[in-house]
Structure 1
């Protein structure tokens, strides 16, 4: 599942006109890595939320600026697992 989420994130960045060359799980989403500005980070968050049916509160969304691609993917995967377990 994490691979699918990662691919969605990378595809979204390409659609948002970001160069994903060299971006991997250790790349920070904010200025030190993928260089997403706050509006782009908000757009990426909304895309992920809509695609996977998860939600990030305001504090979590702000923390994503210093998160890595891998951390974002892991957070989404964990929320999906929690939701699946709750549905059982």
Structure 2
């Protein structure tokens, strides 16, 4: 499932005009990676909630921005399994 979520995240980032051509599971969402700003993190969170029913609270945005794309995919998958 995490592979599907990873692909979803890459597609979501691409639709937000981020260059995803070299994105791997180890690519950071924030600094030294995709450089997502808080508004972009919020947009990804909304897309994840719409697609998977997994909700991230506003106070989690900073923690999410410090993750890699793979970490976020794993976090989403884990939350889906807890439902």
> Do they superpose with TM above 0.5?
yes
What is the SS of the residue equivalent to 1:27? coil
Q: Which structure has the higher relative contact order (CA within 8 Å, separation 6+)? A: 2
Find the aligned partners of 2:45 and 2:71 in 1 and give their Cα distance: 13
Question: What do residues 42-77 of structure 1 show as CA deviations (whole Å, max 9, x unaligned)?
Answer: 111111111100111223222111111011000100
The Cα RMSD (Å) is 1.0
What is the SS of the residue equivalent to 1:20? coil
Q: Matches of residues 40-79 of structure 1 in structure 2 within 5 Å?
A: 40-79=40-79
User: Rg bigger for which structure?
Assistant: 1
Normalised by the length of structure 1, the TM-score is: 0.88
Find the aligned partners of 1:40 and 1:55 in 2 and give their Cα distance: 15
> Is 1:38 aligned with 2:48?
no
Q: Which runs of 5+ in 2 are unaligned?
A: none
Normalised by the length of structure 2, the TM-score is: 0.92
Q: Which runs of 5+ in 1 are unaligned?
A: 84-88
1:41 is displaced (CA, Å) by 1.3
Find the aligned partners of 1:57 and 1:27 in 2 and give their Cα distance: 23
